[in-house]
Amino acid sequence: MKHIRLLSCLLLLALSFSSGSVQPKAMAAEKNKYESTLIMRGPATKREIALTFDDAPDDIFTPKILDILKEKEVKATFFLVGYRIEKYPDIARRIVQEGHAVGNHSYNHPNFLNMQDADFQKQITRTDELIRSLTGSAPTIVRPPYGNISNRQMEWLAGRKRIVVAWDVDSLDWKGLEAEEVASNILPNVSPGSIVLQHSGTGDGGDLSGTVHALPTVIDDLRKKGFKLVTVQDMLGIP
């Protein structure tokens, strides 16, 4: 499935106001309002990096990424799509069994901004139940497809003590980039507390070979620089 990437994760805060535009003061107010719900990065006080992978699982790239993470003894965070859990249950179970953290990435990857409240909520609850079948509990963290979420949707998640996890470093791997390009989009841009966006699943014709081939280099380089690779949950101190 093709992704529309935002110029900045701060655009997550353009939260579907009826006026159609958000002034800087309003943006700042919304960020403060949801500062405990919307997370773009972890604390800068520790040399930690969280590698995250969207659109899992699939049967081509997810197993290869899991193989590398296992070999390198790295725990990552996978944002799971509900229908893909149903399609590839063994791979979804493998993600959990190998100690990786998981989050909710909707049931079938829609643009939440185009959805009625009930349909949006069903996207979350339906995928929660699928993840519960894997882990025994619903996930605390959610990542909206395309990084898009409305004010009402954020309020609904906040009321259920969910954390919306964005990112501050985008690999742009969904574009089918070569390994060198993927690595160059990550390594010069990380800092303590960075949350790195990558993908481990794609639609028909998508190619994440660049991610697979870049991942060992990314892991080795980050470790050489003294970074510890952790899950989002460990970085943020959440269940």
Active site residues: 54, 199
Q: Assess contact for 129 and 90: CB atoms under 8 A.
A: no
Q: What is the rounded CA–CA span in Å between residue 75 and residue 91?
A: 16
Distances (CA, A) of 147 to 42, 163, 174, 178: 17, 13, 14, 23
Q: Assess contact for 1 and 55: CB atoms under 8 A.
A: yes
Q: What is the rounded CA–CA span in Å between residue 235 and residue 46?
A: 9
Q: Tokens standing for 51?
A: 């590698």
Q: What are the strands, taking DSSP E only, across 40-132?
A: 48-56, 77-80, 101-104
Q: Tokens standing for 167?
A: 């990112």
* DSSP letter string, 139-188: -SEE--GGG---HHHHHHHHHTT-EEE--SEE--GGG---HHHHHHHHGG
Amino acid sitting at position 188: P
Q: Assess contact for 195 and 40: CB atoms under 8 A.
A: yes
